[in-house]
Amino acid sequence: MPWGLKRFSGAGTEFGEGPSGEQLSDKELRTIRAKMMEMLSQKGLDRTEKSYFYDKDGRIARRVMQSGDEHQEIITSYKEHGDEAGTVQIESCFDHLPDDPKLAHLDKCRSEVRYLYEYDNHGFWTEQTVDGSSSVTRRKITYY
């Protein structure tokens, strides 16, 4: 692990070890945490904002996460039975962070996943397939 640390929490509540296994002092841990937070802050990554948007049925339709220049948006659509029809994920894809935040929108990655379902006589899905792949989830429902 970097710097030989066992664990780290943003709140600074965990303890760590140095590269040779010796216990780091509280002062050394505070110094490392401060440097890490400074590095994160310089990139705008010291805080994360998450927003959730819901459809008329109370399901999550869109999730947005912003952390500095990093942006991720997930849009979910649903089928008539309420099962997930698919997701579209759009996020920042930088080899490096752009110097001008106004240009951040120019380099986005987009991925889309669609689901196909087979339903039983009760209207519950028994097979979910990721469109265009061999990924299949099957479930057996026993009715009493």
Indicate if 12 and 80 belong to the same structural domain. Answer: no
- CB–CB of 36/50 below 8 Å? no
- Residues in contact with 6: Cβ distance below 8 Å, sequence separation at least 6, in sequence order: 14, 15, 16, 17
Question: pLDDT tens, 9-48?
Answer: 444 444 444 555 567 788 888 888 888 888 877 776 667 7
Indicate if 54 and 79 belong to the same structural domain. Answer: yes
Indicate if 11 and 70 belong to the same structural domain. Answer: no
Question: Total domain count for the chain?
Answer: 2
Indicate if 55 and 80 belong to the same structural domain. Answer: yes
Read off the pLDDT of each residue in 126-136 and give the average, rounded to a whole number.
87
Domain that holds residue 57: 49-138
pLDDT attached to residue 61: 92
Indicate if 88 and 25 belong to the same structural domain. Answer: no
Indicate if 58 and 125 belong to the same structural domain. Answer: yes
92 closest CA partner among 79, 78, 102, 106 = 106
Question: Which residues, in sequence order, are bridge partners of residue 70?
Answer: 67
- CB–CB of 32/40 below 8 Å? no
Indicate if 90 and 34 belong to the same structural domain. Answer: no
pLDDT grade for 53, boundaries at 50, 70 and 90: very high
Q: Is 10 left (phi over 0), alpha (psi -120 to 50) or beta?
A: alpha
Q: Residue 54, CB half-sphere, CA atoms under 13 Å: how many?
A: 4
Q: What is the pTM of this model?
A: 0.53
> Domain for residue 144, yes or no?
no
Question: pLDDT tens, 61-113?
Answer: 999 988 777 788 999 999 888 888 888 888 876 555 555 555 555 556 778 88
> Domain for residue 143, yes or no?
no
How far from the centroid of its chain's Cα atoms is residue 30's Cα? 28
Indicate if 54 and 37 belong to the same structural domain. Answer: no
Indicate if 131 and 62 belong to the same structural domain. Answer: yes
Residue 118 CA to residue 32 CA, distance in Å, equals 53
Indicate if 57 and 89 belong to the same structural domain. Answer: yes
